[in-house]
Amino acid sequence: MRSSPYDATADVPRRPARDVIAAVLENMRRNLEPLKYSILAPSRYLVYLHPGEYARLESILPVLHDQTVRALSEELDSLNRRSSVQGYAGRILGRPQVPVEAAGGSWHVEFLPDPDGDVAEGAILIDSELQLPARPELGGDRTRRITTVHIGSHVTTRQRPSHDASPPLPDTRPLARVTYQDDAGAHTFEIVKDSVTIGRGGATYPVDIRIVSSADVSREHARIRRDPQTGRFFLIDLSTLGTTLNGRHVPRGFDEVGGTKRENGLETLLPDEAGIGLAETVQLQFTARR
């Protein structure tokens, strides 16, 4: 009998399926959002597995889905239970208990084979979404996404702020233009919104300007941000190997704290004409429209 590349006898590390459920619960706990009258928990989870691991579990995915949804509901109930002593202490301190709620009202869990080669055998990558209350100045509803990668007992977290999905401005006249050449040829991209992300992209790395290049260019490499008040543009480095502006490296726009990648607010003013280098691999030409 021929064995597949993902044969069950292959000498590779494997996780029990219950670890997948535990990883989803850990992602949920890491992404709780306290409000005044409730605490929101993300309700949508995309779980990426190594293709071999996905093939091994494919026949039991319906059962795994049902048990993951059940575990999320039980975890929500557990978070909402407090002992009488805790409840009494909260009343004394003026900190009344607020309920924890699923942001979307019901759970959505989907298991997928990793299409980008980012998930090693035995690792689990979970991308969750949390719908936040609308803020008119940001154009309505906001979505915060958090990605957790579980490798053994080690967990790394990446949080993507809501402005990654900023909508086009009502006046769609191009605000700036980016031209570049990558492994797929020459390209022109017109900027029509206040936040544009650049990189190789991927299933859990939505980008506006997708670069076809080697892995030297990060999946989420840099962001161009426009200040709507002044009309000025800024460059934010989100990469591993660095971003340059007119040949000079810009400061890294994130810190890693406790395994979590968080943006630190560092950004560099973009002149109206600028060359942006991605890991000294791909060069982009930025031109603001005035």
Look at residues 109, 144, 160 and tell me which one is the last residue of a structural domain: 160
State mean pLDDT over 264-288: 96
Q: Based on the structure, what is the number of domains in the chain? A: 2
d(CA 264, CA 251): 10
Same domain, 210 and 278: yes
Is residue 146 within 8 Å of 157, Cβ to Cβ? yes
The CATH number that applies at residue 115 is 3.30.2320
**Stretch among 217-221, 228-232, 259-263 having the lowest mean pLDDT:** 259-263
Residues 36-53: tens digit of each pLDDT: 888 999 999 999 999 999
Same domain, 189 and 116: no
Among 109, 98, 40, 124, CA closest to 72: 109
Please report whether residue 132 resides in a domain. Answer: yes
CB atoms within 10 A of CB 157: 19
Is residue 109 within 8 Å of 45, Cβ to Cβ? yes
The CATH number that applies at residue 205 is 2.60.200.20
The H-or-E segment that residue 26 falls in is helix 17-30
State mean pLDDT over 56-68: 96
Residue 256's pLDDT is 83
Residue 57's pLDDT is 95
Same domain, 245 and 258: yes
Please report whether residue 7 resides in a domain. Answer: no
Residue 221's pLDDT is 97
Same domain, 100 and 198: no
d(CA 144, CA 44): 11
pTM value surpassing 0.85: no
Residues 152-195: tens digit of each pLDDT: 778 888 876 555 445 666 666 899 999 999 999 999 999 999 99
Q: Which residues span the domain enclosing 203?
A: 165-288
Among 101, 52, 54, CA closest to 77: 101
The overall average pLDDT reported for the chain is 84
138 has pLDDT over 50: no
Residue 7's pLDDT is 37
State mean pLDDT over 274-282: 97
Contacts (Cβ under 8 Å, ≥6 apart) of 290: 272
